Structure 1
């Protein structure tokens, strides 16, 4: 951690560093070091305190954010902060207007305020803390609901003697509710709770309600014999009967039905599929939907009338949809299956590729592993390599290149075809993206899945780490079809610390518009195992040396690697003579990385190979960048040096003008290979990057000689020189005198 090398054996396993409770002492930089027989590699991660926008919830919880409220009734609506660790500011406003905040409290309406029709609308709760803002909406519909009494019986409207039954009398706009029996002067509180006895059979109970206007409403309920051992409650009402008569009435058989409202011929990718669920005598808000015995996909919506809409339909939506309903007697459910055979003839197959190797392995000398993916299993796939004068077939489905070299730089194209269509997708390996370790992501999808763990971890027991991102930086999240143990999901990261056969499954990365599929299958792991076994044997060097890779010019991303050969049995690498200038310069074990190499990095670097036991220096290797890393002449700044004698006669000043195309405003002057004497000075014009050396009281005996002007950029230094003597001054003055004579002649002609 930081500048101290500390082994933390109790806090990490399989490359995962765990913190049970992060404290101030844990903040800082950590180095993960991996080492094998070839060399060691280090990566740095910084831990710092941060936070997230607040998490809020609107109460009461309602389906689809819709709440129906009786006219002139009182309803409490609150926006609550679920994270109490950071201060949060909460405000309410109307969602469809740009008006100012209605209130800055958690409660939308004042207590005991009757709601009227003008209170209907869509309201937005906004919660803000120091890390950002979160909003949730609720739609309020104030309606004139018919004034009818309903009696709810719990736990069931069929019960036995000596059971405790609860009768709850409800009315949308009630000022007072009470129960009375034979004696009208006795009042019992609502709900009415009874231990039912035989004496209650055929006894009447009356629910009394006084509405907001003082009008009295009544509904009568009687307890009757249902069977030899069971009783029931009969309610005298013209509504659907909640109870059954002993002699003539039978239990109603409820049936749940599902209908596919969209024709199967009209189902297509990107379209909308509509399913309807209904039960006779059951309100739609008592219905619920599920997919594959789990929650619904993110691109679905359940309407208030029980319809299920699937937007932007895709192959991932293929499966079984179940509608469930609760009736007075039992729980009902019915299912409908959207099958691939019925739908794929209308669904256009999606075509893309997935990279399974890490971007850290994508460089000269590294490797790349890509699969060509199609949603249609009948499509055949073929990788080809396109070069200037040739096209050749490479492989099917998987493209694997080990130890990438300049011969592998080309355009690779995956071709797919079946009896219906043909398509292709490109993967272009270039020098620039190899140097920057940047994958050329396909433009088919806005969502990208990247493997951060190496290919060696794609095995049973391996530690797999995957990141998902979107091109437009919108938030993404992982979605699973079932609950899988042993998986860690942290925002955009999916981590499987110890991969098992239970983890072979479909994984979805989703943002607001796109859902991307990742399939971790046994065949993929078998292919990875085969390619890993085909990798070339590790190179063993006869003697130790310093290797330069990735470039050889100033401005390139250059890496120096201290290689330990067979001349040293074993040892560790320590770099010395490292300059204090550390910008774009990294020490990672045996590697010195320059991102990029600039003039300031020029040095004689030393690699000390030390004994692992005694720390004794076994070998010292040197690398001189001045002689091994070259300037790029065509990318160095251009210089132009001229003499100005126009002030020499009148003022005795000689001027030397140094102009450049470089944005560096710093110029260095030298006179006869030394710094100019104190009597000389120069002025710098920052507008056009021109430096002017002014030599006052020019003297041929003192000031003649060699003048140099130099400037630099990250690609090198440019030096231009000029010799000042009597001949150069005379040759410079002659054109000026001729020009002056021409001007005098022109002036004379003009006057004549």
Structure 2
């Protein structure tokens, strides 16, 4: 038996420190050492958390160092050192905690506390980590006033008293962190300053806050309490402060004599010292004369016609001796004549001119009271009725030009020119702006209809201005429409209807609306030829066919004309009939040999086109054809027999009987002159039949009818 012995490598690994507590900004390291290893050691480091190591590594044969040049919060981690000695590996792990506490806390809000008013002091520490391990205490001497944990900011609410002024208060911040021995503590102490402002001053008005214009007025200001540095009495006008009086004492006052209405307003007293200031205010009203001003006419805007006389009256009340002033825009003087007597002043604008159009102000003064009224005077010119011009009589359906003129109109932009046909507006124009009177014109493009005969076309001119006695001024002119027109609404009618049965009566009528009445012609189109049926020198013409026949089918035309033009109307008339005169044509013959072919042509006179049925009465064979043509192929003896053709449409039917005989095939023999003649006759008949069909269709198309072809020459 063989035996083997193996030597197991035994070595130790040491990682220091195992629980590291590093301060942010410091240089730190972890050291991994191996003992009892006779071979070179291979070292490696790794993070046991999901983050990089943020460190560098240096190693020797027995030791590896993980170095952090400047610690940050990112270095907080759990790391592992792996050492391999020969084929054996061992590892050790260590925990790294990071903290930061570089600055002392800062206290704010301690130097602007007001006596009796609740204040909030704030203590804040910056750049501390981890924040959740922070504890903050507020202390007055050795007494703890408040404490909080887990935040870098703490507040303390105090209601200051005079005893707190000059006292000290401390904010102490402690970082409680396992592994940090001892706990790090920082604190800041400040001196509290309590401001003591003045009591609110009082403001008095003598004799009272509402007085009459001309009386005396005294305003006094007084304050009590702590030492006063200064008392100011001022007036506040539109947000601006105007100082009236000041004193370095507890009292000050000012007297106004005589009081005027412009002394009305807000007055304010302010007392101040080193700790602050307090204010008091009062509203004072100085009443003036109860002056009232009225303009006649009592409206803000008046419109008057050029050349008329206009008088503006201004009346004052509530004042023993009013003073009147007439002004215009931008305080320009008014040169028109005015008269004033007692409480009434009148301005005469006569005759009214365009340059008198402006805003007029009547200003009345009574003592310090000044009131005014404004009236805006507008001038218009509308001296004549409008005038309509046109070139001649109207032609129905043709455009006519009509012109409406309004002379010496002002202001043009306030004029509207409407063309009316009864109550219906045809068109509307607005005048253009001008600084001078102008001749306004409007042109109407008017196309009259026959029903407009005798109607009035009116040009209505409207002046719309604010300040008129009525809403607007209307003037108008009219002309009567005397219409002439080319024929219109020409139509052709068929009674009872466009499709009639053969034998029924039918009336074809023509009507037109031309003015003046011209000539009406009723005619029929036959093979592109015009055949006159009836004519009349009136608006109507008609013709009656007592018994309609199929040859009456076709295109009928009504032509209406006068000196202004011509108009046409057309209609297609169709006469419907049951099948009749039916013929049957068998090619090449009704007697053939077995194996030959036969073509059967069936023709009938009727409309609408018929359906055709072919029946062998001996063996009940049936064939249908939409065009009356049948092809019998490779005939046998079974095809021999009596045949009937039934031609039908929705009005009736017609039948024709004939016999076909199929004989046994004979051996070929030279053709005889008799056989050749028979063949030629058959082919000739076929050619003539087909040519006849085509010619009949051509004529039917020209006549506008759709009847089937008439009988062909060869009949059975």
Common fold, TM-score beyond 0.5? no
The answer to which structure has the higher strand fraction is 2
TM-score (norm 1): 0.29
Structure number, greater radius of gyration: 2
The answer to which structure has the higher helix fraction is 1
